[in-house]
Amino acid sequence: MMENIEELSPLRITATVRALSSALRGKREHVHGSSRGKGDRMFPEPEKLWFKESSAKNLRNRDFLSPSTMLNTLYAGGKVPPAVMSRVLLLRGSGVLPVAGGEVMGEGLRLRVDRVASFRAVLAGGTTEYLKPSSQMEGCVVLNCPALHPKPNTPTPDTLSLGQLRTVLLANHIGTLFRRKGFEVYFCPTLPEDSDVATFLQALGIDWPTAPANWTNDEREEKIQKALENSPYREKGTERGRRTSGGGGRKAVEEENEGGLRINLKQVFQEEGLLGYDPTLGTCKVHRDSVSHLAQLDLSTADITGTMATVLHVTSCQDEFRQQQIAILWRASGATHSQRHLVCGPVKTPGSHLTAAQYLQ
């Protein structure tokens, strides 16, 4: 019965480290250091006994390492007794990765996982258990992808750079990880369902939110516009534009901003104690695409009740400065959600500059 339980239990690094620590320490709670005249010494904490290797170079010859400093603490001269070594190499247990071999080297006791047996165990038992979160968490995350916002027109596969495409792929991947952890995940912006970029993302297997082509977000844009007009961070001396009596929505916002509505961004992040923003951010003129961007963020957080959302802006390095401006403008409009920025480096294609559409081809 126990063997069946072990076979069905998903393999876990944490379970392996605990089992390896127990095997290396044995049942004793302290060792004697008589050769140094220091009396009894306590064992190190279990989580410090083993190091899970992650570098590609070191993974060629080891998966786990118990550093020589730890071995010296456990055993005189760092020499692992044969009985202990045998116990480590023959380790088995629920959720424990099978060990293929190991030896004591200058850096410490290194172990290699039987990767073939591990993969067979995973594939034989299915992947369902591995897709379950290790612990359920609560919260809401909004993943905002600046590359997909209109500037002023909705982007197309021919206008998306590879760096911007990377941010979309990464945002989609992060959303999957958050959902597995139990978070509610929302994506921003909402794309026109008949747009080329929406079709392009579907071809890549990305399920991005869409809305009918005739859908507008005018009411939220007007709301954001008024909030910025009344913001305490509005630059003094800027004139209000003329609003036509019969107009509304996007046209009204555009006419309102003809007067040069400006927000003092530096004052916002200094007075509100926001860290990590570019110190050169100063006064920013509010443009139509900025209001549209903020209205989309407002829409993405509209259905979140009872909890604060964390908004993660996944942006490319070429859009980083502009996205910092947007984030602070949103704060100036009254938004209180926590905001974080994930900035992706450039994608280099020597000898050519490929668009997202060319890359897919």
User: pLDDT tens for residues 214-235?
Assistant: 888 999 999 999 999 999 999 8
Whether residue 74 contacts residue 85, with contact meaning beta carbons closer than 8 Å, is answered with no
Give the pLDDT of residue 55.
85
Tokens of 104: 């004591």
Per the model's pLDDT, the better-predicted residue between 43 and 130 turns out to be 130
Burial profile 1-28: b = 16 or more Cβ within 10 angstroms, e = fewer = eeeeeeeebbbbeebbbbbbbbbbbeee
Mean pLDDT taken over the chain: 83
Give the pLDDT of residue 126.
60
Q: How many whole angstroms separate alpha carbon 157 and alpha carbon 198?
A: 9
**Band of the pLDDT at 340, cuts 50, 70, 90?**
very high
Give the pLDDT of residue 201.
95
Give the pLDDT of residue 237.
67
pLDDT tens for 251-275 read 444 444 455 899 999 999 999 888 8
Give the pLDDT of residue 15.
86
Write the burial class of residue 351 (CB in 10 Å: 0-12 exposed, 13-18 middle, 19+ buried). exposed
Crossing angle of the two packed helices 218-229 and 288-300, in degrees rounded to 10: 110
Total length of the chain: 361
Contacts by 348-351, CB closer than 8 A, 24 or more apart: 349/162
Give the pLDDT of residue 136.
62
Q: Rounded mean pLDDT of 16-39?
A: 63
Q: How many whole angstroms separate alpha carbon 355 and alpha carbon 361?
A: 10
Whether 86 shows a pLDDT value over 70: the answer reads yes
Give the pLDDT of residue 245.
30
Q: Which of 91-95, 150-154, 241-245, 305-309 has the lowest mean pLDDT?
A: 241-245
Whole-model pTM: value is: 0.62
Whether 248 shows a pLDDT value over 60: the answer reads no
**Band of the pLDDT at 193, cuts 50, 70, 90?**
very high
Give the pLDDT of residue 143.
97
Whether 47 shows a pLDDT value over 80: the answer reads no
Nearest to 62 by CA among 24, 113, 131, 11: 113
Q: Rounded mean pLDDT of 178-187?
A: 90
**Band of the pLDDT at 66, cuts 50, 70, 90?**
very high
